[in-house]
Amino acid sequence: MSAAAQPDEASLRAEHDALAASLAARASIDHARRGAYLGFATFVVSGLAVKLAFDRWFSTRVTRFRGPPIFFYLALAAAVLLLACTLVEAVRSRRLMRGEDARFARLSELRRRLELDP
């Protein structure tokens, strides 16, 4: 190899090492996991809100509660808040995943140019 090619290869290797270090832990997976947990919590709290609404307005029991539906409103507010948090985490995860995919494509290109893969 010529002397002019060495700095180019060294800079490519430095870029490769930096990309490999940044891709060692994928932050998008953490956000996707958090979004899945929030999605499950949203599902549970939404079910609670539906049950409270059914008991308040559609129940045929004589002893049903006839006061203001405060618990339903609280459960509904919690479900809406959890849904918003779930959507934020999903969008954040997708955005980070696109960036990680672009960096991984660059890392694959660098590995091919540096002949690191067999």
Query: Which residue ranges make up each domain of the chain?
Result: 25-114
User: What angle do the packed helices 70-113 and 5-22 form, to 10 degrees?
Assistant: 160
Q: What average pLDDT does the structure give for the chain? A: 90
Residue 64, pLDDT above cutoff 70:
yes
Return the closest-CA partner of residue 80 out of 42, 39, 44, 38. 42
Q: How far apart are CA 70 and CA 79, in angstroms?
A: 14
Most confident of 54-68, 79-93, 99-113: 79-93
The dihedrals phi and psi of 114, each to the nearest 5 degrees, come to: -85, -5
Q: Mention every residue, 6+ apart, whose C-beta is less than 8 A from residue 118.
A: none
